[in-house]
Homo-oligomer: A and B are copies of this chain.
Amino acid sequence: MSRNLFLKNWTLESSGFSVKTNRAYEGLFTQGSGYLHVRGSLEEPLPNDSQANTYLRMPANVTAEKFIEGKSKWGTYIPGLFGNHPTLGREMINLPYSLGIVLKAGYEQLNMETSEVHEFSRMLDLKNALLRRSFRWQTKFGVEILVVFDRFVSQARPGMIFQRVEIISDKDINLNIQGGIDSDVRTSGFDHFKKVNFACVNSQILACDVNTDNDENIQVATEFVADGVEWICKIGERAAEFNSAFLLQAGKKLILEKRSAYSTSRDTADSSATEKLKSSACQTWKSLLHEHCQIWNRWWDACDVTITGNREDQDAIRCAMYHMLRSQSCGDTRIAVDAKGVAGDAYFGRYFWDTEMYLVPFFTYTMPSRAKDLTDFRIQSLEGARQNAKKYGYPGARYAWESDDKGNECCPCWQYADHEVHVTADVVYGIAHLDRAVPEWKYLEKEAAEVVVETAKYWLSRMNTRDGDDFPSLLGVMGPDEYSPISNNNAYTNNMVRFVLELGSRVGLSGGATEKEVELFSRMAEKLPIPRKDDLILQCEDFEKKADPLFEQFWPDRSGCYASAVSQERLYRSKNLKQADVLMMMFLFPNRFAKSQIELAWDYYLPYTTHDSSLSACVHSIIANRLDKCKEAYEFWEKGAFLDLDIEHGGASQGIHIAAAGGVWQMVIMGFAGMKTAFETDFFTLTPRLPETWRCLSFTVVWKGVPLFVEIDRREIKITNRGEKALDVFVGESFKVMPGQCKVIDIQEYR
C-alpha cells in the first residue's frame, strides 16, 4: 500500500510537499480541542489559491459527489456553530482563519509550491497533538533559511491556538513577516458571514468580530509574540494583518509566536477572545504546551492500543484514536461528533447514526463519561426529534437522519431524510449499550427512558397493518444499505425497532408511558416480522425481486465506487448493497442469530456488496473474525483501517472518516481481540484471533467500571485488573480477576 506517509512511533510524517496531496494532509493533520478544530493547512497561502470561491452546492449523495477543490482548504470549526445554506439546510460554518504567517526574505515570498525547499518534513505527534513543519528554504538570492513551524490547539485552554516559528538564516536578510485573521473564507462555497469587523485592540492584538447569517457572533483575536519586533496593523474589508520588516542577522535564531483565540455567542463561559489571549499572556510556550500535553497523556493512558509486529497497523489504530479523542466534545452535550470529525465541510458538520454505531462504543469502553456526552446529546435534542415527528405527521420522537445541534432534520435529500428512519432506533441502541456497560448510572431508569418511550410511540404510529396481514409492517424504509431507498420490512430496521419496543415495554413506565402503551410496545415488538427465506434473513421483503447488479459489466474498474459507475436509477433497482445491512444487524445483535445463519447471510450478501460506504469494511472484518474467516478479517481490516492515511486516493481531504475511525478501534478490540460488548454479555469476554503479522496486541479498556489492561500474544492472554472491584471474565471459562491481579490464560489450553 503506497500511502506516501512515513509512520514512526506516535507520529504521522510526510516528507516532500505536493499540491496534489496537500488537502489530504490538511485533513489528516487536523488539530482540535473539542471546542475548536483547525485543518492542518500551511501557515502561508499557495499561489492563486483563493479561499473565497463562491459556488452553489446542490443536494447530492456525498458518496458520489465531485467536490470543487482548490489547492488547499482552510477549515476552522467550532462544532455547533451552524449557518443557513439556501439549498442544503443548516451547516457548520467555516470560521475566519487565524493561522496565517507569511514570510518574505528580501523580495521572495515563501510558498511551498514554487519556493526551493529542502529537507521538508511535516509531522503530527499523535501523543501530544503537536504539528511540526521544518525545511530549509533556498532563496533565489542564495540565502539558506532554516524554518521550523510548531503549533497546537490547546486542550487546556478552549478556543486557543498556539503557533511558534523558528528561523535561522545563513546570511543577513531583510525579513518581512505578515499574519493576521482572514475572514474571506467560504463554507463549501457559501458565505455565512453577514457582518465582519476588525479592530486593532492594541499594538499587539488584532480582533475580528463576525455576525453569521444565523445571528451568532464569533470573535477571533490574534497576537504575535516576539522580542524586539515592531508590528504595523493593516485592516481590510475581509482580512486584517500585522506586518513587520527587520534585519535578521546570519546565524541568529528568531523565535516568534502567534497566539489566537476564538469565542462565540454559544459559549457557556464568558471570556472573550481578547480576554483569553490576555489571560495567557504571562505563560510561556513551554508551560502552555505542558498543560496541553498533560491532558492528552491522560487520555492516551485511558485508551491506548499497541500492536507489535506491524507498524502500519499500529499507526492506523493510533491515528483513528487520535481523531476520536480530538473530536470529543469534552462535556458539551449540546453537540456530538459530526461525520467528518470536525475536519471538513463535506457532511455539513451534522450528526448521523455514526455517533451511536461507531463512536459511542469506543468511548463507552475507554472514557464512559464521554460516551454519555454523546448519548446525552440525543436526550437534550429530544425536542427537535419531537418536532421532526410532528412535521411528518406522527406522535412521539423521530430523530433526524442529519441532525444539527437542536435535532432538526437538515438532510436535503428526501430519500434519506424521509426513509432512513432506522437512526431513531439506533439512538436508543446507543443509549442501551451504554446503560449495559455502565449499569451503575441507572441511565435507563432516569432521563434516557423518555427517549425510549417517545421513539417507541413514533414507531407504533409509523407501522401499517396491510390488508390480509395479521402483523404490522414498516413500509417504505431505507436500511443501512442506502442503495435500496424505499423497501418494506427491512430486517435491520425491524429488528432494531423490535428491540426498542421491547425496551419500551421494560422501561416505559419510567419514561412516561401508560401501562396500556407498555403492553402495546410488547405486543407489537413480537409481531414485527424479520423477512426470511428458509434460514436466510432477507434484507427486506422482495429483496430477491431486484435485478442482478451485473458488476462485471458495469463496474470493471473498481478504483472508483460503484455508485459513480452506474446511474442511481440502476442502483435503486438492483441487488447491489452499499454496505452491510443484514450483517450489520447480526453484528449488533449477535445473540439473536445462529452462526449458521450468519454464515448464510455472509455468503449471500457479500457478492452483492460494493463497500461504497466507508462503514462497510469494519463490520465485515469483525463478522469475518466471528466466523473464523481470519484471512478475510484481515483483508477487510486493510480495506477499512487506512482510509484517512491513504493520501494518494484523497484520504482525509474532505475531513476525517470519523465513524470509520470508530470502526478501526472496533475491528481491533471486538474483531481481532474478540471482545464481546456489554450489550451481549455481562462477562468481559475475549476470543482473540491475531493477524499473522501481529506479535502482540495490548490495550486498555473499562469493563463495567473496572479499568483493565489486556495483553495478547500467540501463547497467552494477560488481563490485569487496574480497578477497585472484582472483574467477571469469560475466556474459555468464567472466572474472576481481583483488583491489582494479573490473570494469565494459556491460549492453547483453553482452545
Binding site for B on A (CB under 8 A): 56, 58-59, 86-87, 391-393, 414, 418-419, 464, 466-468, 473, 475-476, 485-486, 488, 541-542, 544-548, 554, 566-570, 572-574
Contacts and interface: CB of A to CB of B under 8 A. Distances in A.
A425 B189 CA distance: 41
A527 B668 CA distance: 52
Nearest to A475: B573
A545 B466 contact: yes
B548 A464 contact: yes
Nearest to A489: B545
A548 B393 CA distance: 16
A569 B392 contact: yes
A672 B476 CA distance: 41
Given A542-B542, A546-B466, A569 B418 contact: yes
Given A392-B567, A466-B548, 4 more contacts: A393-B566, A414-B568, A466-B546, A541-B545
B485 A486 contact: yes
Nearest to A418: B569
A421 to B, nearest CB: 8
B414 A486 contact: no
Contacts of A419: 569
Contacts of A86: 56
B545 A393 contact: no
A122 B447 CA distance: 67
A556 to B, nearest CB: 13
Contacts of A546: 466, 475
Contacts of A393: 554, 566-567, 570
A541 B541 CA distance: 13
CB-based closest 6 A-B pairs: A476-B573, A464-B547, A418-B569, A475-B573, A392-B567, A56-B86
Given A87-B87, A393-B554, A570-B393, A475 B56 contact: no
A414 to B, nearest CB: 6
A570 B394 CA distance: 11
- Tell me if A's interface is mostly helix, strand, loop or mixed: loop
A467 B59 CA distance: 34
Contacts of A566: 393
18 contacts: A56-B87, A58-B87, A59-B59, A391-B567, A392-B569, A393-B570, A419-B569, A464-B548, A466-B545, A466-B548, A473-B547, A475-B545, A475-B547, A476-B572, A476-B573, A485-B486, A488-B545, A542-B542
B467 A544 contact: yes
Given A566-B393, A567-B418, A486 B573 contact: yes
A563 B541 CA distance: 26
A419 B467 CA distance: 27
A392 B86 CA distance: 28
Contacts of A544: 466-468
A514 to B, nearest CB: 22
B58 A573 contact: no
A554 B58 CA distance: 32
A418 B485 CA distance: 13
B392 A476 contact: no
Nearest to A565: B393
Contact of A476 (B58, B466, B569): B569
Contacts of A464: 547-548, 573-574
A27 B93 CA distance: 43
A331 B486 CA distance: 44
A43 B562 CA distance: 57
A391 B545 CA distance: 25
A71 to B, nearest CB: 25
A527 to B, nearest CB: 16
A535 B485 CA distance: 31
Nearest to A55: B86
A393 to B, nearest CB: 5
Contacts of A87: 56, 58, 87
A350 B50 CA distance: 38
Contacts of A58: 87
A547 B475 CA distance: 8
Nearest to A573: B476
Question: Which of A58, A488, A545 counts the most chain B CB atoms within 10 A?
Answer: A545
A569 B420 CA distance: 11
A581 B87 CA distance: 33
B488 A486 contact: no
A56 B488 CA distance: 35
Given A56-B86, A476-B573, A568-B414, A547 B392 contact: no
A479 to B, nearest CB: 14
Contacts of A56: 86-87
Nearest to A554: B393
A464 B545 CA distance: 10
A546 B475 CA distance: 8
A422 to B, nearest CB: 14
Contacts of A473: 547
Contacts of A554: 393
Contacts of A567: 391-393, 418
A541 B464 CA distance: 19
A65 to B, nearest CB: 14
A494 to B, nearest CB: 14
Contact of A467 (B485, B548, B569): B548
Contacts of A570: 392-393, 476
Nearest to A547: B464
A663 to B, nearest CB: 29
Nearest to A567: B392
A374 B406 CA distance: 52
Given A56-B86, A554-B393, A572-B486, A466 B418 contact: no
A547 B467 CA distance: 8
Contacts of A568: 414, 418
Contacts of A391: 567
Contacts of A468: 544
A434 B70 CA distance: 54
Contacts of A547: 464, 466, 473, 475
